[in-house]
Amino acid sequence: MPTSLNSINNWKAFFDETGRISLFAARFFREVVKPPLEWRELLRQCYVVGYQSLLLVAVTGFIIGLVFDLQVRPTMIDFGAVGYMPAMISISIVREIGPIITALICAGKIGSSIGAELGSMKVTEQIDAMEVSGTNPFKFLVVTRILAVTLMLPLLVIMADTVALFGAFLVENLKGDVTFRLYFNKVFNNIVFGDLIPSTLKSFFFGFAIGLIGCYKGYNAEKGTAGVGAAANVAVVISSLLLFVLDLIAVLVTDIFYDL
C-alpha cells in the first residue's frame, strides 16, 4: 500500500505530507525566478501537456455538453423555461463544469504521467546523473513541468468549454430547432467577463496543483518499480482531491465578489 494513501487516514502523516508539499512548492517559487529558465524544455513540455490531453479533453467536453443538455432539457420544458437553455448551459459549463472536468481529466492523464516519468527517472538514477553533470534537475524537470501544466490548463479549459457548448448546441438544434446564430447569441449575451475571469484564474490554480503534485510525487518516488507505480497513482488521488478543495475556495472567493 503506498504510504501516502494511508496518510489520508492518519492525521500526523497528513500534516507531514502537506508540509513537505508546501516546501516543494516554496522551492518551485524560489527556483522559477532564478535564471536561467530552461526554455527549450518548457516549450517541449507545453507541447507534450497540450498535445497529450487535447483529444481526450475535446471528446469528453463534447459528450458532457451533449449529455448535460439532454438531461436538463425535460425539466426546463416542465418549467416552461426552455428558451433559457443556452444561457443556463453556458453559465454552468463556463463557471464550473468545463474547468473541473478538464482538470480532473488532466489530473488523471498528465498528473499520472508526470508522476511516473519523474518517478522512473528518480529510481533509475537519471535525476542523479543530471545533478552530477551540472544541470539543476529541479529547474530542468520540475520547474518546466509545473509551468507547462499551469499555462496549458486554462487553454485546455477554454477549448473544452467551446466544444461542450457546441455539443449542447447540437441537442438544442436537433430537439428544439434552435439555430446556430440564435444559440450562440444567447450564449454570448449571458457569459460576461465576470464568468470568464474567475474560471480562467481557477484553471491556472488547477494546473499548478496538478503539476505540483505530479512532480512532488515523482521527484520523491521510493526505490523500485513499485515506487514508480505508487508515485503515479498517489499523484492522481491527491491532486484530484486538491482540485475539489481549490474549487470550493474559488467559489467562495468569487461569491464574495458577486456580492459586491
Q: Which residues bind another protein (CB under 8 A)?
A: 117, 120-121, 124-126, 128-135
In the complex with another protein, the residue whose CB is nearer, 9 or 133, is 133
* Residue whose C-alpha is closest to residue 138's, from 219, 35, 251, 228: 219
Can you tell me the distance from the alpha carbon of 145 to that of 209, in angstroms, rounded to the nearest whole number? 11
CB of 112 to another protein, least distance (A): 16
Can you tell me the distance from the alpha carbon of 114 to that of 12, in angstroms, rounded to the nearest whole number? 27
CB of 55 to another protein, least distance (A): 21
Q: Quick one: cell of 97? A: 463544469
Coil/strand/helix, residue 124 = coil
CB of 133 to another protein, least distance (A): 4
In the complex with another protein, the residue whose CB is nearer, 54 or 130, is 130
In the complex with another protein, the residue whose CB is nearer, 92 or 126, is 126
CB of 136 to another protein, least distance (A): 8
Can you tell me the distance from the alpha carbon of 231 to that of 233, in angstroms, rounded to the nearest whole number? 6
CA dist 120 → 128, 222, 227 (Å)? 12, 10, 8
In the complex with another protein, the residue whose CB is nearer, 232 or 250, is 232
